[in-house]
Amino acid sequence: MAKKSKNFYRDISGILLLNKPLGLSSNAALQRARYLFNAKKAGHTGSLDPQATGVLPLCFGEATKVSGYLLNSDKRYITTVQLGETTTTGDTEGDILNTTTVTEISEQKLVKILEQFTGKVTQIPPMYSALKHNGTPLYKLARQGIEVKRKQREITIYELILLERTHDTLKLDVRCSKGTYIRTLAQDIGDALGFGAYITSLERTQVSPFDCSKIYTLEDLQQLAEYEDKKQLHDTLLSIDSALCNHPKIILNDTESARVKNGLKVTRDDIPDSSLIRIYHESGEFIGIGRLSSDKLLAPKRMMRTN
């Protein structure tokens, strides 16, 4: 990828739903997309493993101010689970640790075990993860053969649907809360069945609150970037406030808008009782994020740079 001059990058704001390809890290995918958009500033909203594919929201420009809120989003995945073997990483990247003969699993037993992993469950994060121990990512320690104790965390599996099965594989549709490790879920299901397991494929199909029916590959973006008119490329971007559409909003007049933009509180009788409020100017422009303060005023939280 040729290096571009600083003057080549532009102020572009919006959210791209990228279809991350297999084998590429989230940061590498981000940098390729940023290059195609010539965006000065960009960030992703929680990484996907290189061996995972699917929806990766990327935030450009002012949208990076809302990226942190997307880390708490619910997600949906489709994964294929191989029974009868375990690996060091919980996926195809690792070395095989144990092999067990897979015997017949009755439908009744399988349904019962999958039900055990629906609802609120606890997980121990895997060593091969980006979580940090004393400032060092766990996966770096794991590569050195070092294992540290990890705290259990509570997650929620909203739906766990069996899509297909063979003698020794399961294809699952998982809708889950933030912080869920699908590799760990597969391993735990494999242990409950008595055979061990690891995942052979993982695709993220949804990230809340977005409609993920239309996502773009790097090849799609490359094709659009080749046009002299960049309108079609820029039309792939969602508005910044699309990331916050599940939160209440308030509309301000000129005077009120000027106050919050200057960091001042606003008195209103209709302020939503929320720690996150979308703030709009009466023209319809999204101008920032606010909250209901302890003195029942609208306080600015994170304002957008507007024209």
pLDDT per position as a tens digit, 238-249: 999 999 999 999
Q: What is the pLDDT of residues 62-86, one digit of tens each?
A: 999 999 888 889 999 999 999 999 9
Residue recorded with tokens 């104790």: 149
Q: Tell how strand 197-207 and strand 52-60 pair up.
A: parallel
Which residues, 6 or more positions from 155, have their beta carbon under 8 angstroms from its beta carbon?
Answer: 120, 121, 122, 123, 176, 177, 178, 179, 180
Q: What is the pLDDT of residues 230-271, one digit of tens each?
A: 999 999 999 999 999 999 999 999 999 999 999 999 999 999
| Burial environment of residue 159 by CB neighbours within 10 A (0 to 12, 13 to 18, 19 or more) | exposed
3-class DSSP state of 285:
coil
What's the average model confidence in pLDDT over 20-44?
95
What crossing angle do the helices spanning 107-116 and 182-193 adopt, rounded to 10°? 140
Q: Which of 135-139, 167-171, 198-202 has the lowest mean pLDDT?
A: 135-139
Q: Which CATH code for domain 75-205? A: 3.30.2350.10
The CA-CA-CA angle for residues 235, 240, 241, to 5°, reads 120
* CA–CA gap between residue 189 and residue 114 (Å, rounded): 7
Q: Which of 101-115, 144-158, 264-278 has the lowest mean pLDDT?
A: 144-158
Dihedral in degrees, nearest 10, Cα atoms 268, 270, 275, 276: -100
- Provide the pLDDT for residue 6: 56
Q: What is the pLDDT of residues 118-157, one digit of tens each?
A: 999 999 887 776 777 777 877 788 787 787 888 889 999 9
Residues of the chain with CATH 2.30.130.10: 247-303
* CA–CA gap between residue 102 and residue 85 (Å, rounded): 9
> How many other C-beta atoms can be found within 10 angstroms of the C-beta atom of residue 96?
11
Which residues, 6 or more positions from 77, have their beta carbon under 8 angstroms from its beta carbon?
Answer: 54, 173, 174, 176, 182, 202, 203, 204, 205
What are the C-alpha distances in Å from 61 to residues 141, 226, 241? 34, 22, 13
- Provide the pLDDT for residue 124: 86
Check whether 3 has a pLDDT greater than 70: no
- Predicted TM-score (pTM) of this structure: 0.90
What's the average model confidence in pLDDT over 221-226?
96
DSSP string, 128-145: SSS-EETTEEHHHHHHTT
Check whether 10 has a pLDDT greater than 90: no
- The DSSP code for 245 is T
Residues of the chain with CATH 3.30.2350.10: 6-72+210-241, 75-205
- Percentage of the chain beyond pLDDT 90 is 79
Confidence of residue 45 (pLDDT cuts 50, 70, 90): confident
Check whether 19 has a pLDDT greater than 60: yes
* CA–CA gap between residue 256 and residue 83 (Å, rounded): 60
| Burial environment of residue 177 by CB neighbours within 10 A (0 to 12, 13 to 18, 19 or more) | middle
What crossing angle do the helices spanning 26-37 and 218-225 adopt, rounded to 10°? 10
Look up residue 163 and give its two tokens. Answer: 């899509």
- Provide the pLDDT for residue 128: 75
- Percentage of the chain beyond pLDDT 70 is 96
Enzyme catalytic residues: 49
* CA–CA gap between residue 109 and residue 256 (Å, rounded): 61
DSSP string, 187-232: HHHHHHHTS-EEEEEEEEEEETTS-TTS-B-HHHHHHHHTSSS-HH
Q: Which fold has domain 6-72+210-241?
A: Pseudouridine synthase (3.30.2350)
Does the domain made of 247-303 have the CATH classification 2.30.130.10? yes
Look up residue 81 and give its two tokens. Answer: 């689970």
- Provide the pLDDT for residue 7: 57
- Provide the pLDDT for residue 5: 56
